Structures are given as C-alpha cells and as structure tokens.
Amino acid sequence: MAQYHTEQRKILYEFFCDHPHEYFTVKEIHSFLADQGISLSAIYRNLASMKEEGVVRCQINKDSRDLLYRFIDKEHCANSIHLTCVECGKVFHMNAESERKMQAALSAAEGFHINKEKTVLYGTCKKCQA
C-alpha cells in the first residue's frame, strides 16, 4: 500500500519537474497523467500533502474559481538554467543533457563556467514556433 502511494507521488513529482513554473488545475493534471493510471482522488490526496510540505503552492483563479497548483522547488530551480519564452511568457528548465553540452562547449572554447542560478535564456518555445 505504501509503495503504491510512493509511486503516485513520484508520477506527480516528475510531472511537476517537467512543468516547473506553470499553474495547473487538478483536472488538467489528471488529463496529463490519465494514461499513467493515477486517479483524481490520488492527485488530490498527494497535492494536499505536497502543499503541506511546501513543495506545491496553490492559488485561486479569480475568474473560474478553480484552484491552481504550482510546483515550488528552490533546489531544482537553483540547479537549472531557465528558458523564458518571449511570446507566451512560460518558463522552462533546460534539460540536463543540453546544459551539460552547453557547459562543455563554453568551457572548451572560452574557459567560461556558467552560473546556472543566474542564467536565463530568452527565446521562443516549441509551441509558439508552431
């Protein structure tokens, strides 16, 4: 039983890590994770405990009155290079593999080391390019 809960928690955690600066309703999270077999009530339960731990923050959408959840992970943020889309304003974390390649190229060519915490790249996200 405990294992089962841990698994659901892991699915949610990974979902939030992929969407670090976005707000979601429980229904949206559920539709993203539906194929992973996590139930609506399991999402509610896990979000409640993550909120208590301060890993997730929630606020009310003024128009729809829906509760919106957002992932707060300072450590994950401090260890990530942020990508900001100038079209839609969304913020993403660069994936570790791209980061590693960029750092390796800069080290080799310029002898320069990136401060991840302070680095933001501005551009256009995949969705906005389409």
Q: Does 68 bind Zn ion (CB under 5 A)?
A: no
Site for Zn ion in 4-23 (CB under 5 A): 20
Among residues 65 and 118, whose Cβ is nearest to Zn ion?
118
Candidates 26, 58, 72, 125: give the one binding Zn ion (CB under 5 A).
125
Residue 9, CA distances (Å) to 15, 41, 77, 108, 115 in order:
10, 12, 20, 40, 31
Least distance in Å: CB of 20 to Zn ion? 5
Beta bridge partners of 84: 91, 122
Nearer to Zn ion, 20 or 67 (CB): 20
Decide whether 40 or 88 has the Cβ nearer to Zn ion.
88
Distance in Å, CB of 102 to Zn ion, minimum: 17
77 in contact with Zn ion (CB under 5 A): yes
Give the residues lining the site for Zn ion (CB under 5 A).
20, 77, 85, 87-88, 125, 128
